[in-house]
Structure formats: structure tokens, C-alpha cells
Amino acid sequence: MDPPPSGIRFVDRCVDDDAPMQRKALEHNGISVQENLAVRDLSQGRVDLHGIGASVERVASSDARLRSIGAHSLAQGSRALVGREQDRGHEIWHLAQQAMGRVQPDSSIAGQPVARHPRLEREADRMGERIAGFRPRDAASLGPRAPARSPSPSAPIQAQFGEEEEDPWAHRKAQYKPTIDFEQALENRRDWTLELRREKRREAVNKRRFASPPSATWASPPSFAFASAAEPTVSASATSATATATATPVARAAPVARAAPVATAAPPVLFPSPYTAAAATYPSPYAPALPRPLAYPSPYAPALPTSSLAKPLVSDPIEELIAAFANFHLSFADAAGQRHEIYPDLVKADAIVQSNPTPLETIIDDERWEKIAISKATLARLQTAQTAIATEIKAFGKSRSKTAGGKLRQALEDAKDILETISKIPIPATDLSTSTNHGSNAGKTEGSHVIASPLSINSAKPGFGPTKDGRLMTAIRAAAPGTQGSSYIQMHMLNDNVFGPGELWNLTPGPSQSNHDMEREIEHDLKKAIVDMGLVMTFEATVDYKNDPIGASQAELNENPDKFRFKQIDFEATQWFADSKSKTYAPGANKAQEIVSIDGSHVKWSWGSLTPLKAKPLILSTTDQQELEDIGIDKTSAKKIVDFNAAKTGWALAGRGGKQDQLADAIHAWEKDTLGKKRPRRISLAWDSNLVLWR
């Protein structure tokens, strides 16, 4: 037998720790031959995952690569990471889609391109099921293999985010779901109360059962029988409550009279009988008028004086208090339709808002509820309601009067109305329209002043990365020595994860070190405040340039870009609050620590490990031989250029082409004609003409 192709082996593979061991299958880079044949068949021979070196890796659902974008599984380029086995076929078909070049990014998460096309996702669901149930046919019927073509390394991510991930921030919002099920807690409390009542009722009933019975009972149960001639017969005398019985011979089959009640002493009744007065349920003409042993009268019982009836079984003041307060539960719905409930807390004399649940006092102390920052005026109204609730809880607990109950309910209504009002205030939409040169992405445009008033999670447009280099960035990259030009970055003044566009009016060029400083000191808190906490604010970023790059010509920027770079970027932030009276959001004093840390902060230009920029030499007028040598011109050629500039002041190029050759020819002719050299050597052309200015 010939050995298997390179890279393909027999393996025993287990889907996950709890799944049974699967049968042996041919596998290459985590993709079985059967799965590859399925993809070839479904793609009509256009995709061969083994041919392009695609791989599928089974990883834990907590893998850092998945958690960084909040996905269960993902596919990017020719690699797939599967966190859940049910996503395997889905992600394999995503590899096929990317190999066919059908996937383009439409958003970004954590700075990575992401494709979330509904049509491609539905197709991957459908094809994934067919891949899982594929039964291979004759390989020859699949047609020739498609030529191996790997996706681009910068391919977008396609991922399984789950139903809760309809937007890029849903996996963070899920962190704020209530951890306590109030309905279940209420149900448990009711069950406990009912069980306590049953237990006390059982104790009371048992106590009555084992108590001494009443003094009168039946001597014998009523009966009807026929006595024989030899048997005695009981005759009754109905003179009074007492009776004597005598035995006399009677004829056979004579009826027996009923026995009259006799006053006798009886032992304690442990197991009540229908014939005992202690547990009589059905009336009898022979039963004496006695009190019923239980507290609940029956329509069959004789009418008795009120003083004769037994008292209630249980008198529990705590239970009665809980029952009295049970009617003070109020509820309302917020703008999203989520139900909230507010009810009194008897222990702390406060109100509980069901949402987490959270005491009203905690909401006032935190100055926020359900990610809503509350204004000072609204907090004062809540504080008044909370004080009234605490007072009326104590008053109603003592008196149980209708007046105290009405005041308590009104105080709860006041607190409920305030929370309901602020929960329905719409979050204002992000507005960047007042920024300098807003919307401009061409010409003499550099980021100078960006203002978001307000900035919130409610944005009509997503942010995105830089789309092009501006004039200053072009000059900086050209002036940077060696390969250092790629270490300069178009820095977002408003980060793209909080809806900052990658257009020139929102960008300024800077070194990578400054960009890291901005991310650490500004953008981390900014993203947390907007995306995670749902705050609303005014955000401003102002660039302080050494000289105005917008008014400078391209030649001036090229000559010395270091002259026009920024010195520092200043940031300001002001928090907005919801007000129940005006039913709007308005700016106020900063409370959230994230906003406090942003306001008044700065990011300075920091070279890091980069070589500072230098001005380009004017090669047709310079008299500094050293600056020519610094850009790579040899010493002899640099000296000739400097001497030529001193002798031929005002010499200019004829046309744009062949600049180095024109300069070399002019210096050669000058040395031959003016200096009298018969065969002068031409200057070296082994240097980069882009490192100098030719005007």
C-alpha cells in the first residue's frame, strides 16, 4: 500500500470532552476528507480546502481570540476557530466563501475588519447542515480540482455571535442583565409563607385533637337490627337526658329501638369518628348542641352564640404585616418595554426597584439607574420621595390605617413616576456636525478641532479606519529615514469604536508611540463610558500644531514636515444627565470617573524609537555639504554639487524628467568649460532623488 499523501493522517478525534470518540477519519489541518469532498461538491469544484491549506481548529469557548470580538466561532482567510461543535459546518462554508472571494468587510470590532452579511450567514447555515450530512459520491464525479487559491491575509472575520449579538456592543450590554430573578424570589417567599401557615395550622389542630373532649358523648352509635328470641332487646325511656336500659325477651324479628344519649365519661379521642361530637361533620337529630372543634363554621352546624365559636388558629403579626404590605407593589415599563417593579422594603424602611433589585437609596447614592445618569434636580425629587417612603412605612406598620396606607402608596407612586419618566427619555443622537471641516476628505484638510455634542451610543453612522493619507502624512512618510515611514499613523481624534470616521477632518498624523499613549490615556476610558456604561457626553479634541499645515503649500510641507507636525492634542469632556422635569438630557458637572479622567487631558508628540524628522535639503541651492552626505550622496559628488551651486546661482532644471541626469550634465559641462578640466568625472547618481527638494 502506498503511504498517504503528505500532511494527511489517520487520527482518533473527539469533538469535545463530553462527546463520544468518533470513528477514524482521514483529516488534514482539522478538515476531514469527507468535509473537503462536501465543499468541492457544493461549490461545483471551485474550492478545494485541502489544496489551499485551509485549517479548522477546535478551541475552548473561552479562547482569547474568540472573546476579543465576543464570538462563539470565527473564520478568517483560510483559518477557522470553532468554539462550539454545532458551528463547525457553518465556519467551514465561510472558508469556502472567502476562498471564492465573495466576502467584503462591512464593519469592525476591536480594530479588526468584520463581515456580517445576512445573506452569506443564511447560506452558511444551510450549507453547514449539508456538509454535516454529506455522503461522498464517486470522487471522479466531482470534476477536476480547482486551482489552489488562498484568501488574502487581510480577509475579514466572519463569526457566530449568537442571537444576542445583533450589534457590536451587545456582548458588553449582556453584562448588565439582572442576576436575581425577582419573580422567582417572590414565588419562594410565598411558598415559605404558605408552608409556615400550614405548619402552624397542623400544630393547632393536633393540640385540639389531644385535648380533653366535651363531657357528653354517645354511649353507642345508632343502629338498626333484628334480634332473635333468645337475645336481649334494648328498650329506651325518653324522660330526660339520662336513661336506663333493661333487657326483656321479645318476639323474633321485632325492631330494635334507638338508644337515647347518656352522659358518660369518655377517654380522650385520638382518632375522631363521625359518631363523636369532637369531630362531628354531619348533623344528627340525636347530637347535642355543642361547639364545633374547628375555627371554621359549617352551614350544617347548629346556630351557636358567637362566644361559643373557637378563635382563629394562628395569629402571626409578622405574617399579617407582610400581607398588609403586599398591596403596595407598583410596576411600569421603560421605553424598551422591559417591566420594572417598585415595592416597600420593611427591613430597611426603603423602596426596592426590581431591576437588579436595587434599593432606592443606592440609586440616589450612585446618581444613576439602568445606565442612566440622573440630574441633580431629579435626584433631589427622588430623595424627597425616598424620605417620605421611609416615614410612611413606619407609620403604616404601626397603625395600618387607610390614611397611612394612602400616604405610603402616594410616596411610592412619586418614586415610580420619576423612574418611569427618565427611563423613557430618548438617548440623544451623536452629532459631529459642528467639527471643523466636517465631512471633508480631500484637498487641504487636516484634523484640527473635532466636537461631538452630544456623543452617545445612539449613532446613525458607524466609525471606520483611515481611508487615505493627507498632505502632511504624505510629507512625513517621505521624510522619514529608511522604513520608518510606516511607523507614523493617521490618529483618530475621535476613536472609530465610538463612531469616529476615518476621514481627513478627524485625522492627524503622528508617531506610533503617541497613538499608544492616546489609546491608553483617552480612548480606553472613552469606549468604556460610551459603549459599556451607556453615558452621554460632550467630547472635544483640539490639535495644537507647531505651524498651520492647512495654509502651507505642499512644497513647504515636503521641505520640512517637522515644522508643521502637532505639539499636543487637548481633550475636554462634559457629562450629560437625564432630567425628569424637562424630559431631556442636559450637560452638568462630571460625575463618572471615566469622563473625569478624559476632561483636561493631553497627548503629546512622542518619537519613541523613531529618528526625529529633518528638513529635506534644497539640492539646487544648498551650500551645506554635510546635509547632502547625510542623505547618502558620496563626499566627492556632494562637494561638486555645493561648488556648482555657489558658482551657478539661479540655475534651474529644464523640464521635470531626468533631474539627476540634468544636474550631472550641468556640473560636468561647468567643470569642463569653466574650470578647464579635459575629462572631468561625472557625479555619482547612486542616491534617492526623493530625499531632496528640486525647486
How far is residue 422 from each of residues 178, 255, 409, 578, measured CA to CA in Å? 19, 88, 20, 6
Residue 313 is predicted with a pLDDT of 42
Helix, strand, coil fractions of the chain, as percent rounded to 5 = 35, 15, 50
- pLDDT at 136 (0 to 100): 65
Residue pointed to by grid coordinates 492647512: 550
For the chain, report the end-to-end CA distance as a whole number of angstroms: 75
pLDDT tens-digit map of 421-465 = 999 999 999 999 999 999 999 888 899 999 999 999 999 999 999
Look at residue 233 and tell me whether its pLDDT is greater than 60: no
Q: Return d(Cα 65, Cα 93) in angstroms, integer.
A: 20
534: left (phi over 0), alpha (psi -120 to 50) or beta: left
Q: Residue 139 pLDDT > 60, yes or no? A: no
CA distance linking residue 216 with residue 226, whole number of Å:
28
- The backbone torsions φ and ψ at residue 80, rounded to the nearest 5 degrees and listed phi first, read -130, 140
Helices (DSSP H) in 118-270: which residue ranges? Answer: 118-132, 170-173, 182-209
Q: Which three cell numbers, joined as nine digits, stand for 203?
A: 400544630
Helical H segments across 85-145, by residue range: 88-99, 118-132
Q: What is the pLDDT of residues 578-600, one digit of tens each?
A: 999 999 999 999 999 999 999 99
- Residues composing the chain: 695
Q: Are strands 449-455 and 537-545 parallel, antiparallel or unpaired?
A: antiparallel
Q: Is the dihedral of CA 652, 658, 660, 662 positive or negative?
A: negative
Instruction: Say whether the peptide bond before residue 509 is cis (omega within 30 degrees of 0).
Output: no
Instruction: Return the H-helix or E-strand segment holding 80.
Output: strand 79-82
Tens-digit pLDDT profile for residues 187-217: 888 888 888 888 888 888 888 776 655 444 4
Alpha carbons 42 and 124: distance in angstroms, whole number: 11
Q: What would the mean pLDDT of 48-67 be, rounded to a whole number?
A: 89
Phi, psi of 33 (to 5 degrees): -60, -40
To 10 degrees, the CA torsion angle through 418, 424, 426, 427? Answer: 70
For the ranges 115-119, 123-127, 208-212, the maximum mean pLDDT occurs at: 123-127
- At residue 249, the pLDDT reads 44
- Cα distances (Å, whole numbers) of residue 271 to 213, 274, 313: 12, 10, 20
Residue that wins the pLDDT comparison between 306 and 355? 355
At 169, the pLDDT band (50, 70, 90 cuts) reads low
Cβ-in-10-Å burial (0-12, 13-18, 19+) of 611 comes to exposed
**The whole model's pTM is what?**
0.50
Question: How many angstroms separate the CA atoms of 599 and 262, rounded?
Answer: 98
pLDDT of residue 449: 96
How far is CA 605 from its chain centroid? Answer: 35
Question: In terms of pLDDT, which residue wins out, 695 or 332?
Answer: 332
Cβ atoms 91, 160 nearer than 8 A: yes
- Nine-digit cell string for 604: 503629546
Burial of 75 (0-12, 13-18, 19+ CB in 10 A): buried
Q: In this predicted structure, what is the pLDDT of residue 205?
A: 83
Which of 64 and 182 is assigned the larger pLDDT?
Answer: 64
Comparing 163 with 329, the larger pLDDT belongs to: 329
The answer, yes or no, to whether residue 483 has pLDDT greater than 80, is yes
- DSSP type of residue 14: B
Confidence category of residue 346, pLDDT binned at 50, 70, 90: confident
Residue 113 pairs in a beta bridge with: 108
- Residue 321's pLDDT is 60
Mean pLDDT, the chain, as a whole number? Answer: 78
| Cross-strand pairs, 92 | none
Kindly state the cell numbers that stand for 75: 473564520
Percent of the chain with pLDDT over 70: 73
Q: In the chain, what percentage of residues exceed pLDDT 90?
A: 34
Residue 397 scores a pLDDT above 60: yes
Given a cut of 50, whether residue 261 has pLDDT beyond it is: no
Q: Which of 472, 475, 467 is nearest to 496 (CA)?
A: 467
Neighbour tally for 598: CB within 10 Å: 25
The pLDDT of residue 454 is 95
Residue 341: pLDDT band (50, 70, 90) is confident
Q: Please give the residue that has the higher pLDDT: either 434 or 52.
A: 434
Is 619 within 8 Å of 584 (Cβ atoms)?
A: no
Pairing relationship of beta strands 9-11 and 488-492 according to DSSP bridges? unpaired
Using one digit for the tens of pLDDT, what is the confidence trace for 645-672? 998 888 888 877 788 898 999 998 888 8
Q: Tell me, what amino acid is at 502?
A: G
**SS3 (DSSP) at 591:** coil
Q: What's the rounded mean pLDDT across residues 285-300?
A: 47
Q: What radius of gyration, in Å, describes the C-alpha atoms of the chain?
A: 46
Q: In the chain, how long is the greatest CA-to-CA distance?
A: 179
Q: What is residue 153's predicted lDDT score, i.e. its pLDDT?
A: 61
Beta bridge mates, 226: 255
Indicate left, alpha or beta for 26 from its phi (over 0: left) and psi (-120 to 50: alpha): beta
